[in-house]
Amino acid sequence: MICWFPLAEAPVPEGGLFDFDATLPLMAIQVVVLTFILNKLFFQPVGGVVEEREGFVATSHKDAKERLAQVQRLEQDLKAQLQQARQEAQAVIAAAEDEVATLHKAALAEARAEANQQRERERAEIETQRSAAGAVLAEESRRLADLIIQRLVAI
C-alpha cells in the first residue's frame, strides 16, 4: 500500500497557492482569445439565427393579431347580418301571419255568407213545400169534409 502522508508534509514552494507569475496574464489572454473565437464561430451565427427566429416570431405574432382583428370584424359583421336577417325573417313571418289571418277571416266570412244564402234558399224551399203541403192538406181536408158530409147525408 502507498502512503501519501510524506507527500502531504512536503515543503510548499515559495508563492504557494497565489503565485502571480506569467501564468495569470497568459490565462487572461487565453480567456479573451477563446471568448473572441467562440463569439465569431458559435455565438454570432447562433445569435443571427436567434434574431432571425425572433423576427419571424414577431412578424408571425403581428400577422396573427391582424388576422384576429380581421376575424373579429368579420364576426361582428356576420352577427349584424344575422340579426338583420332574423329581423327580416320575423317581419316576413308577421306579414305572412297577418295575410293568413286576413285570408282566414275572408274565407270564414265567405263561408258564413254562403251558409246563410244556402239556409235562406232552404228556408224558402221549405216555405214553398209547406205552402204546397198546406194547400194539399186543405184540399185533402175539403175532400174529406165533403166525403164525410156525403156519407152523413146519405145516411
Question: Where are the chain's structural domains?
Answer: 31-118
Q: What is the DSSP string of 1-32?
A: ----HHHHTSPPPTTTTS--STHHHHHHHHHH
Give residue 149's pLDDT. 87
Mean pLDDT, each 10-residue run in order, the chain (155 residues) = 54 56 78 90 85 93 95 96 96 95 95 94 92 90 88 79
Can you say whether the dihedral through the CA atoms of 147, 151, 152, 154 is positive or negative?
positive
Identify the residue whose cell numbers are 408571425: 60
At 117, list the grid cell: 244564402
Task: DSSP for 66-114, please give it.
Answer: HHHHHHHHHHHHHHHHHHHHHHHHHHHHHHHHHHHHHHHHHHHHHHHHH
Query: What's the confidence (pLDDT) of residue 116?
Result: 94
Q: What is the 8-class DSSP label of residue 120?
A: H
pLDDT the model gives residue 23 = 73
pLDDT the model gives residue 6: 54
**Single-letter amino acid code for the residue at 13:** P
